[in-house]
Amino acid sequence: ISICRDLPNIEVITFSVNGISDLEPLNQCQNLSELYLRKNNIASLNELFYLKNLPRLRVLWLSENPCCGSDPHRYRMTVLRNLPGLQKLDNQAVTEEELSQALVDGEEITAPPARRNVENGCPESSAAESTTETERELLNFSLEETNKIREELGMKPLPRDKFSSFSPQETDCNRKKRNNVLNAILLLTKELDTEGLEIVQQTVGRRLQAVRKKELQEE
């Protein structure tokens, strides 16, 4: 997630199911409009402090994080009080009535959370991770979000069999990293001009030739 510090113009970020706990790298993404953080290790709603100054943020998916707690109403009201520009929270549209109620029931966040010695990414173990993602659930969600990014870029969606072939016989952690690399590359292509895209195309072509040659030799 630290790569986001170098992407001030990024508009859509998908980091769901990743063990992320710190949102500080996002506070410079002034063009960010959609942020998907479902099923991570975000322990405190104080992390919203880093999102409060993002003027274009309209969609946030934060559900199934430890910070959501056991009181859904308080959680939603607190998020909306601090991010009143949201149009959709956790795949549910935000109403004017909710925004008004949030001023009463929500908690104002005025400071960032205390720093924790937890690295973003795939920790070996985490007490905050209370649910186990099955391989099928993880695949379905990653495919859904990858295809959303591809749609944003005007690309055709990936079929399920092609997507799953990216990571056969890998651990959940490696699969998450592989899919995140793919998503990051797709998002970064939006930052490139024609010359940059041509360089990427040439590099990918050479890489594909090398990989195919290696596969033929192994056969």
**pLDDT tens digit sequence for 62-115:** 999 999 999 999 999 999 999 999 999 998 999 999 999 999 999 999 998 876
Q: Where are the domains of the chain?
A: 2-105, 176-218
Cα-based angle 116, 122, 125 (whole degrees, multiple of 5): 70
Alpha-carbon gap, residue 130 to 121, rounded angstroms: 16
Instruction: Indicate the residue type of 51.
Output: L
Q: Quick one: 2-105 is in which CATH superfamily?
A: Ribonuclease Inhibitor (3.80.10.10)
66-81 exposure pattern, b = at least 16 Cβ within 10 A, e = fewer: bbbeeeeeebbbbbbb
Half-sphere exposure of 188 (CA within 13 A, CB side): 13
| Residue 213: per-residue pLDDT | 81
C-alpha distances in angstroms, 192 versus 82, 127, 157?
A: 33, 40, 21
Share of the chain above pLDDT 70, in %: 68
Q: What is the pTM of this model?
A: 0.57
Comparison of pLDDT for 66 and 18, the residue scoring more: 66
Closest by CA to 39, choosing from 19, 56, 57, 12, is: 19
Contact 146, 153 (CB under 8 A): no
Per-residue pLDDT at 158: 67
Phi, psi values for residue 12, rounded to 5°: -130, 130
